[in-house]
Structure 1
Amino acid sequence: MTTTLKQQLQEDLTAAIRARDDLRSGTIRLTLAAITKEEVAGKTARVLSDAEVLQVITREAKKRREAAEAFDQGGRPESADRERAEGVVLAAYLPKQLSDEELTAIVAEAVAEAKAGGAEGPRAMGAVMKIVNPKVSGLAEGGRVAAAVKSALAG
């Protein structure tokens, strides 16, 4: 039987607690809490799929990045460092992000496909995003994807 991502997180939490690794245990504990919150949201409780757990982890990692930037701007480097360290812990559970070159290649392919389908001008952005998003889901952040599409359409 394969372990799910949630089970892996729970096992890693136990190991982190035993190793007295406060950073890892705290980060994983908060992530598991976010997963549980997501599971009980809505009318009926449900168990999240690995893909949904991955979305929660991605969202948590993004929160850490944004918090680190806010702490940097607020002149609190020690808090920013902690947020970045938590982001590194979460990154271990995420698929490897696409490099800029890989993302650019996928976007260029999608732009060609959208233009072949008749999409032009501002409307092309939506058409290209519809083609690109399924291909890069979980592998590149939305802001990076949108920026790559904009630059490909402008160029």
Structure 2
Amino acid sequence: MGLKEKLQEDLKNAMKSGDKIRLEVVRMLQTMLKRKEIERKGEGKDLTEEDEIQVIKSEIKKRKEAIELFEKGGRNDLAEKERKELEILNEYLPEQMSEEEIKNFVEKVIQEIGATGPKDLGKVMGAVMKELRGKADGALVQKIVKEKLQVQ
């Protein structure tokens, strides 16, 4: 089942169960995907799975930033709402790789490229993220690459 079908099914279930937050998140996600689809059609391209993941990750990033700001402002009620939305959004991402799997993949890429130190950070990050986009958190990947290349 594709993401659009899953969202449609979840929309129905949220309406039946009266889960207002899930309903809100699913509708927002459908809207954002529709906007991205229209944008891609304007470029003469179809919406890809990578585009869908990008939209979800963008919304996740917004929620994380909002949580941080609400906590700084002492608005824990609003921060909690954002956390619930974040939890729901994470359900739509593909299974994320574990830290150990990422480390192994990074080591393999470093050997393939022949990277030796901090100057190769860009090359390694580019090659790793090309393969792991959507499957691993970029910040975690960057941290692991820096550790492996001993970047200060």
TM-score by length of 1: 0.85
- The residue aligned with 1:24 is 22
CA distance in 1 between partners of 2:144 and 2:150 (Å): 10
Tell me which residue corresponds to 2:124: 128
C-alpha distance in structure 1 between counterparts of 2:21 and 2:136, whole Å? 25
CA distance in 2, matches of 1:54, 1:43: 17
Give the aligned residue type for 2:147.
S
**1:120 positional shift:** 4.3
Q: Check if 1:139 corresponds to 2:138.
A: no
Amino acid at match of 1:26: E
Amino acid at match of 1:29: R
- Comparing 4-13 and 48-57, the one that deviates more: 48-57
Q: By how many angstroms is 1:25 displaced? A: 0.3
Task: Work out the number of aligned pairs and report it.
Answer: 150
Kept in 2: contact 1:67–1:80 (CA 8 A): yes
The alignment yields a C-alpha RMSD, in angstroms, of: 2.1
User: What secondary structure sits across from 2:103 in the alignment?
Assistant: helix
Deviates more, 1:120-129 or 1:132-141: 120-129
SS in 1 for 2:94: coil
Cα gap change, 1:42 to 1:55, in 2 (>3 Å): closer
CA contact (8 A) 1:16 1:25 kept: yes
Equivalent position of 1:13 in the other structure: 11
Alignment correspondent of 2:56: 57
**Alpha-carbon distance between aligned partners in 1 of 2:4 and 2:103, rounded to the nearest angstrom:** 32
| TM-superposed deviation, 1:82 | 1.0
Structure 1 range deviating more: 17-26 or 67-76: 67-76
- Whether the aligned pair in 1 keeps the contact of 2:109 and 2:127 (CA below 8 Å) is yes
Check the 8 A contact 1:6/1:53 in 2, yes or no: no
Q: Distance in 2 between matches of 1:120 and 1:43?
A: 43
Kept after mapping to 1: 8 A contact 2:40/2:47: no
Does the 8 Å CA contact 1:27/1:86 hold for their aligned counterparts? yes
Do residues 110 (structure 1) and 109 (structure 2) align? yes
TM-score, reference length from structure 2 = 0.86
Gaps of 5+ in 1: none
CA drift of 1:43 comes to: 7.0
Residues 4 and 131 of structure 1, relative CA distance in 2, 3 Å threshold = same
